[in-house]
Amino acid sequence: MNIPAHVRTILRPGAVVTTNVWPAQARRVHVLCIGGAGMSAVARLALEAGCTVSGSDAQEGQFLPPLREAGARVYVGFAREQLPTDADVVVVSTAVRPDNPEVLAAREAGIPVVHRATALAGLIGERETIAVAGTHGKTTTTAMSVMALRGCGEDPAFAVGAAVADLGRNAALGENCAVIEADESDGSFLAYRPRVVLVTNQEADHLDFYETAENVTAAFQALVAGMGSDGVLVACADDPGARALAEAAPCRTVLYGNAEDADWRISDVTTAAAGARARISHARHGELVLELAVTGAHNVLNAVGALAACVELGRDVTGLLAGLSRFHGASRRFELKGEVSGVSVYDDYAHHPNELQATLSSARQVAGEGRVIAAFQPHLFSRTKAFAAEFAQALSLADTALVLDVYAAREDLDESVNAKTIVREYTGGDERVRAAGPREQLPGEVAALAHPGDIVLLLGAGDIVAESPRVLAALGARD
């Protein structure tokens, strides 16, 4: 793996990871934080490859019962004795700390410790692969790509960072090609050597790891360069970062979007609660009609990106379009959690300003004459501080936006950054964007605001998802 010295990546050996090479004969695999969406995908692929799999996590989660049923030995909590003495490899995520007792035991025993992306690359092997990268939109576009290929009768390997009901699971080894959600947050996507790289967008984010926007760009450039001259970059023509990446790419490029010079050009987009429809123009394939069961202009973009990437693997356009039409969305991507007294409650993973803007714009279209009430939980102190003004601007698309305290995730507490950091940047002169009250009062606060016909959006990458049932209960208690 030849990674330029100036490119930041978690793959280099350090305090946790000991190698960026997947052991060729690995048959006994131990996975730390096995309950996460990405780590459970590694465990699933290893099981389907015939490996003996064990692992541990700090708490129970939705992905653990299926892994146990498939044969994995799973522990809750971390302890040295849980690491099998005959393990061939230990797989970690970026969130695993150097003082984890199972990491310490592995290093003392000389057992290789690799990052999740190295494991995925090793388990996928030499399959013809599409790597879906981008600051946002990766999960949905990866799942769409898998559904598109299934529409052609394919059974691709895949790993996606969320539960997707249409796929049946978040990972599978499949039979032929592969589609991987390529996480840019820590430079780990450089572990992959895909045939096609699909970039939905490329913006400054994850500055807690990269520090500068230039370092983010350098990582994307290294991913594209890693394909070699025979690879294909499929990039969104509407996104300045993705377009710039294409203009500098050392390989063939394919553009998609609404821009006039896009190879796959989108027009006549219509969206509603039941889905979306658009026309697509392509020099070789002519005029096409895309019909989706998910709403939003951003999902039309995601679908056309998936279509363009899958065509580069030589798949039939008609079958791909049919597969895309059967995609019903990923977990926590504008996911309807319930409706009470005419108020619809949605959950969404949006945690970047542009994601908020896309989700709120879709909600506005779906709400029609109703109002959009948003509750947003910022994710990471560093991201909140860096994009406070952009968050405030995006949240102003709601009729009322309540900003919760910051979800720290992997960062240490920073008392100087909180909900008011965003609220202070709102310049509308009213209380459209304001700090939420105490967390335990959020359901009642939302219920007091919502009227029949309104949409309530719970936004963020943290634990705000836990509020959905409580909000629905509070709405019901008013009757």
Just list the catalytic residues.
138-139, 181
C-alpha to C-alpha distance for 476 and 479, rounded to whole angstroms: 6
Extract the tokens encoding 349.
Answer: 């993973």
What residue type is 135 in one-letter code? T
Residue closest to 291 by CA, chosen among 325, 246, 241: 325
Distance, CA of 467 to CA of 446 (rounded, Å): 11
At 284, list the tokens: 């070789």
Contact 145, 310 (CB under 8 A): yes
Rounded to whole angstroms, how far apart are CA atoms 409 and 412? 8
For residue 446, which of 409, 417, 475 has the smallest C-alpha distance?
A: 475
Q: Are 388 and 421 in contact (CB under 8 A)?
A: yes
| Spatial distance between the Cα atoms of 417 and 403, rounded to a whole number of angstroms | 12
Type of residue found at 221: Q
Please name the residue that has the structure tokens 């995609």: 327
- CA–CA–CA angle 166, 170, 174 (5° rounding): 85
> Tokens 């629905």 sit at which residue?
472
Residues 253 and 255: their CA atoms lie apart, in Å, by: 7
The Cβ of residue 439 has, within 10 Å, a number of other Cβ atoms equal to: 14
Q: How close are the terminal C-alpha atoms of the chain, in Å?
A: 61
Instruction: Report DSSP state, residue 178.
Output: E
Short-list 184, 188, 176, CA closest to 146 = 176
Query: Which residue, chain included where needed, has tokens 């919760």?
Result: 404
Q: How many CB atoms lie within 10 A of CB 260?
A: 7
Alpha carbon separation from 190 to 8, 28, 183, 400 (Å, rounded): 10, 24, 9, 41
Q: Cβ(283)–Cβ(345) under 8 Å? A: no
Q: Which of 435, 382, 439, 434 is nearest to 413 (CA)?
A: 382
Strands 343-348 and 52-57: unpaired
Assess contact for 179 and 3: CB atoms under 8 A. no
Q: Report the alpha-carbon distance of residue 464 to residue 378 in Å, rounded.
A: 10
